[in-house]
Amino acid sequence: MGVVFTKTPMGLAEMTNRSGELSPRMRRVLILIDGRRTVDELRDLVSADDLTHTLGTLEELALIEVKGIRRENGADQTVPDGPMPSITAFRELPQTPDPRDLDKARNFMINTLKSFCSLYGPISLMSQINSAATHEELRAHFPSWYRMIVDSRSGRRRAEELRNDLLQVL
């Protein structure tokens, strides 16, 4: 299943008027949003960068909006009532989650923060991650972890790869 975005009237106006508020990267993503490609298909086109953050920013600026969902069988569905599926795409947890997966996710998050961020900047986040006792508690720290990675120069280049690796066990 994949979320499909489309340009809003403001997004279409931005395409013709070029207000100058968008970075070249954000403009390129806006150009690629056509109402047919899913987030995963967009991710393939801009694989080396932080697509999730860019889509969130474009949505906050009201330049794009969710058009619908494409099912795995290829059928499109318009925007459903209720909450949309998260583009973080947490996997469905088994009835009894493997504690090793929780440890793997916790260690991955802490080690990537140590590697890509300053050692002292994310110390409180690392402490909170270390004390998370369940997948749900650890998932609550995902947005903060991801923002820290994206805000670091070297992490920004690998943000999508790291995000995908973490979502395998989280």
Domain layout of the chain by residue ranges: 2-78, 99-167
Give 108-166 pLDDT, tens digit per residue.
999 999 888 876 778 889 999 999 999 889 988 888 888 888 778 777 777 778 888 88
Judged against a pLDDT cut of 60, whether residue 92 lies above it is answered with yes
Rounded to 5 degrees, φ, ψ at 93 are -80, 145
Residue 85 vs residue 167, higher pLDDT: 167
Which pLDDT value is given to residue 155?
78
pLDDT of residue 80: 53
Better-predicted residue by pLDDT, 111 or 92:
111
What is the predicted pLDDT for the residue at 7?
92
Which residues does 38 contact at the CB level (< 8 Å), separation at least 6? 2, 3, 4, 70
3-state secondary structure of 98: coil
pLDDT at 107 over 70: yes
pLDDT in the model for residue 147:
80
Q: Which residues lie closer than 8 Å to 159 by C-beta, 6 or more apart?
A: 49, 50, 52, 53, 146, 149, 150
Residue 28 confidence (pLDDT) above 60: yes
Distance CA 6, CA 12 (A): 10
Q: What is the pLDDT of residue 32?
A: 93
pLDDT at 99 over 70: yes
Instruction: Give 37-77 pLDDT, tens digit per residue.
Output: 888 888 888 865 678 778 878 887 889 888 887 766 666 66
Does this model's pTM top 0.75? no
Burial class (CB in 10 A: 0-12, 13-18, 19+), 120: exposed
